[in-house]
Amino acid sequence: MARPAVVEVRRSERRRRMVSARREGDTVIVFIPGWMSESEELRWVDEMVRRLERSEARRRSPARAGNEALLRRSRELARRYLDGLAEPMTVRWVAPMRTRWASCTPVDGTIRVSERLRDAPGWVVDYVLVHELAHLLAPGHDDYFWSLVQRYPRTERAIGYLEGLSAAAGLGLLAPDGDGPGPDVDGADGIDDADEIDDEAAG
């Protein structure tokens, strides 16, 4: 696997054994103990970058491969969280929409997802799909609708992620289809579960 274009190593005398890595934008930051030799640094940097990239690859949504994959993922999520009652006929990626992340037409079972989400973590795309699938069963945003959506365990976190993404890009988007997050759903922190990889180095 190709090494990222930018890797920054940060040494710390207070760090005794733990080695960790995380991505900040296009840069991978690797944190190592100050006592490490240059050869150990090179070995650990390569290892931690590989682990971080594997973790990121696992988190990517399988749906981003294309419309067929997006439809398959939607049907899987409908089975898992909506008792298989939501039956989408068409689910596809579309050009970025001005006011929403996704939209649904219940009358013909069509779901459209903004291309802006192709690089979002898989669990965020899954939330957007569950949100739109719930509209096949409840067209509005009433309590019943939100009771369906909140069966997805990362609902609040995904809402927070989307709010942060919208704010960072200056988009002004709220919920996937343009409405507010709904009753009893706060912003959450929007932090990715797997944004840092740790290991312990022998010292």
Q: Flag whether pLDDT at 85 surpasses 50.
A: yes
pLDDT at 147 (0 to 100): 96
Q: Which of 17-21, 91-95, 128-132, 146-150 is predicted with the least confidence, judged by mean pLDDT?
A: 17-21
Give the C-alpha separation, 147 to 139, whole Å.
13
Model confidence over 89-106: pLDDT tens digits? Answer: 999 999 988 788 999 999
Residue 53 or residue 82, greater confidence? 82
Contact predicate 173/101, CB 8 Å: yes
Reported as half-sphere exposure (CB side, CA atoms, 13 A), residue 111 has a value of: 32
Give the C-alpha separation, 126 to 134, whole Å.
12
Give the C-alpha separation, 100 to 104, whole Å.
11
Model confidence over 16-35: pLDDT tens digits? Answer: 778 888 877 778 888 888 88
Q: What is the mean pLDDT of the chain?
A: 79
Record the tokens describing residue 66, joined without a space.
């294309």
pLDDT at 94 (0 to 100): 92
pLDDT at 148 (0 to 100): 96
Residue type, position 34, single letter: G
Cβ neighbours of 60 (radius 10 Å):
15
Average confidence (pLDDT) over 120-135: 92
Contacts of the segment 83-86: beta carbons below 8 A, 24+ positions apart: 85/137, 86/133, 86/134, 86/136, 86/137
pLDDT at 96 (0 to 100): 85
pTM summary value: 0.60
Give the C-alpha separation, 55 to 72, whole Å.
23
Residue % of the chain over a pLDDT of 70: 75
List, in sequence order, the alpha helices (H) in 60-154: 67-81, 122-135, 143-149
